[in-house]
Structure 1
Amino acid sequence: MDELRLSDVGAMRAMAHPLRMKILGSLRIDGPATSAILARRLNTDSGQTSHHLRQLAKYGFVLEAPDLHRGGRERWWRAAHATTSWDDLADPEAVHALEDAAHQVWAQALAQYRAEASRQEWSPEWTRAASSGDYPVRTTPEGLNALMDELREVIARHSQDGPGAETVTILLHAFPRRP
Structure 2
Amino acid sequence: MTDAPITDPKALRALSHPFRWKLLQLLTEEGPQTATQCSAALGESVASCSYHLNMLSKYGFVAEVEGPGRQKPWRIVPKRQSISSEGLEGEAAMAAEAASMAYLDQEFERMRTRLRQYDHLPEEWRQVVGTEGTVKFVTAEEALGLVEELRTLFDKYDERRLNPELRPEGAKAVRFFLSHTVAPE
Shorter-chain TM range is: 0.7 to 0.9
Number of the residue aligned with 1:75: 72
TM-score normalised by structure 1 residue count:
0.86
Q: State the one-letter code of the partner of 2:135.
A: P
Cα distance in 2 for residues equivalent to 1:147 and 1:124: 31
Q: Give the Å deviation of 1:158.
A: 5.8
Asked whether the equivalents of residues 38 and 49 of structure 1 are also in contact (C-alpha less than 8 Å), the reply is yes
Number of the residue aligned with 2:52: 52
Number of the residue aligned with 2:27: 27
Q: Give the Å deviation of 1:156.
A: 2.8
Cα distance in 2 for residues equivalent to 1:3 and 1:74: 32
**Structure 2 segments unaligned to the other structure (5+ residues):** 161-166
Q: State the one-letter code of the partner of 1:92.
A: A
Cα distance in 2 for residues equivalent to 1:47 and 1:169: 28
| Deviation digits for residues 7-33 of structure 1 (CA, Å, limit 9, x no counterpart) | 222211111111111111211210111
Number of the residue aligned with 2:99: 98
Number of the residue aligned with 2:111: 110
Identity among equivalent pairs (%): 25
Asked whether the equivalents of residues 28 and 82 of structure 1 are also in contact (C-alpha less than 8 Å), the reply is no
Q: Give the Å deviation of 1:155.
A: 1.9
Report SS of the residue matched to 1:83: coil
Number of the residue aligned with 1:169: 175
Q: State the one-letter code of the partner of 1:166.
A: K
Cα distance in 2 for residues equivalent to 1:82 and 1:29: 14
Q: Give the Å deviation of 1:130.
A: 1.6
By percentage of residues, which structure has more strand? 1
Number of the residue aligned with 1:140: 139
TM-score normalised by structure 2 residue count:
0.84
- Find 1:85's aligned residue among 82, 86, 95: 82
Cα distance in 1 for residues equivalent to 2:63 and 2:26: 14
Report SS of the residue matched to 1:63: strand
Task: Give the total of aligned pairs.
Answer: 173
Report SS of the residue matched to 2:75: strand
Q: Give the Å deviation of 1:87.
A: 2.7
Report SS of the residue matched to 1:66: coil
Cα distance in 2 for residues equivalent to 1:157 and 1:142: 23
Cα distance in 1 for residues equivalent to 2:62 and 2:29: 13
Question: CA RMSD of the aligned region, Å?
Answer: 2.0
| Map 1:147-158 → 2, pairs under 5 A | 147-157=146-156
Q: Give the Å deviation of 1:125.
A: 2.5
Report SS of the residue matched to 1:93: helix
